[in-house]
Amino acid sequence: MTEEIVDSEKLHDVVIVGGGAAGVGVGVALRDAGVEEILILERFMVGTSFALWPDETRFITPSFPSNSIGMLDLNSIALGTSPAFTLGVEHPTGEDYTLYLTAVAHHHGLPVQRRTDVKKITKDGGEFQLDTSKGTVRARHVIWAAGEYQYPKRGAFKGSNLCTHTATVRSYASLEGDDFIVVGGYESGIDAAYHLALRGKKVDVFDAGSPWTSTESDPSVALSTYSQERMQDPTFGENVTLHADTRIVSVLRDDNGYRVFNTIGEAFSTPVPPLFAGGFKGGHPLLGRLFDLRDDGLPLLNENDESTVTSGLFLCGPSVRQGDHIFCFIYKYRQRFAVVAKAIATSLGLPAEGLERYRRWGMYLDDLSECGEECVC
C-alpha cells in the first residue's frame, strides 16, 4: 500500500474507487482475470467504512469457515478466505472486518493509494480522468466501489438535521440520557435500540412500516434472524417500545429537549437528540450524469453492471440493482465481482480463465434468471 503522489502519466487498465469490501473484492477478481494494471483509490484507509461502525455493532450475517463443503463464509470477499477463520469470531465488529480486508489486500498485493480523495471523474474519448487530492489519475476503466456507509441519508423530514444519524455514533455506551427515540426500525434502528436497552435505557422505535413482523425471508427487505433473536432478550422487551406504521414527519427542539411528530400530529418527547436510522444514499450521486438512474434513484446498469451512458464505468457494492434483484449484502454483491472482472478483461483482450473457479464456488452470477425474485442468494 502506498501514499505517494499518483503518477499522472501512467494509464491504468482499471482504477477502483473505494478500498472496502467491494473494492478489495473486485480487485482480487480482476487479478484472477489476469488484469494487472489496476489501482485502488481509498479516501482514508482500507475498510474505513467498517471501522466507523459503532463499537457495539456486529455483522448480522454470521461468519463460518465452511470451505470444506464447497461454500464460502458469508462475509468473505475472496476465494480461499474466511473472516471467521482469520478473526476467530462469528459476528465480527467493524474493526474486526477491517483487519480481514487489510489482510486480503496485502496477501494479493493490491495497490491501494490511501488518503486519496476522488473529487471528479470525467471521460474524454476512451480514457477516464480522475481528479484527486493527490493529482490526476488516468484509466481505461473505472469501478465505483465507494459503498454507502460514509454517505448517510439526510433531510428525510423537517428537522431531521436535529437528529443524530446512527452512522455517526461511535459507541452507544457513550450516549448520555435515559430515554431515547429511534426513527427507523430496520437493522440499524433495532441494533441501536438493543444496545441502549442492554444499558437499561428506555427506547421508542418508530417505523413507517413494520419490518419486525415481516414474513419475507430475504434480509434485504425484512429483519435478519440475528436481529430477531436479539429482540427476544428480556432487556429488549422491558425497555423497548415498537411503534409500527408510524411515519415521522418532523422534529422540533424546545426547552425540554425534542418533540417528534407523526403524520396525525401526535407528539413524542425525548430530552436528547433522536437517533435517525434512515439508511444511506450512497456515493453514486457524486458521479453526476455518468450514470443514468432507475425510478428508485439508483444507477441504471447493463447486464455487466456497467453504466448505460458511460461505457467503461462499472458499479460494485450494495447499490447494485438488476431489475428486481437486490444485491445489498456482501454475500450478494460479491456474486457480481467476476461479472465485472470478466467484462473488463474481455475488453482488454484477456481470456479471464481464472474466473471459472468463481462459478464453482457460487461467486459468479452472470445469468440473472438463476436468481428469482424470491431468491435469498
pLDDT at residue 301, as a whole number: 97
Task: For residue 374, name the pLDDT band (cuts at 50, 70, 90).
Answer: very low
pLDDT at residue 377, as a whole number: 41
Partners of 257 in the β-ladder: 254
pLDDT at residue 185, as a whole number: 95
Residues of the chain with CATH 3.50.50.60: 11-150+280-370, 160-276
CATH for the 11-150+280-370 domain, from 3.20.20.140, 3.90.209.20, 3.50.50.60, 3.40.50.170? 3.50.50.60
The 3-class SS string of the chain reads CECCCCCCCCEEEEEEECCCHHHHHHHHHHHHCCCCCEEEECCCCCCHHHHCCCCCCECCCCCCCCHHHCCCCCCCCCCCCCHHHHHCCCCCEHHHHHHHHHHHHHHCCCCEECCCCEEEEEEECCEEEEEECCEEEEEEEEEECCCCCCCECCCCCECHHHCEEHHHCCCHHHCCCCEEEEECCCHHHHHHHHHHHHCCCEEEEECCCCHHHCCCCCCCCCCCHHHHHHHCCHHHHHHEEEECCCCEEEEEEECCEEEEEECCCCEEEECCCCEECCCECCCHHHHHHHCCECCCCCECECCCCEECCCCCEEECCCCCEECCEECCCHHHHHHHHHHHHHHHHHHCCCCCHHHHHHHHCCCCCCCHHHCCCCCCC
More reliable by pLDDT, 284 or 53 = 53
Measured CA to CA in angstroms, residue 16 lies from 200, 269, 279 at distances of 44, 45, 24
Fold of 160-276: FAD/NAD(P)-binding domain (3.50.50)
Per-residue pLDDT, averaged over 82-106, amounts to: 96
Mean pLDDT, the chain, whole residue set: 92
The span from the CA of 83 to the CA of 73, in Å, is: 7
* pLDDT tens string 326-357: 998 999 999 999 999 999 999 999 999 999 88
Does the global pTM surpass 0.85? yes
Q: If we measure between CA atoms, which residue out of 293, 327, 324 comes closest to residue 307? A: 293
Q: If we measure between CA atoms, which residue out of 144, 61, 99 comes closest to residue 336? A: 144
* pLDDT tens string 286-327: 898 999 999 999 999 999 999 999 999 999 999 999 998 999
* pLDDT tens string 206-249: 999 999 998 888 777 789 999 999 999 999 999 999 999 999 99
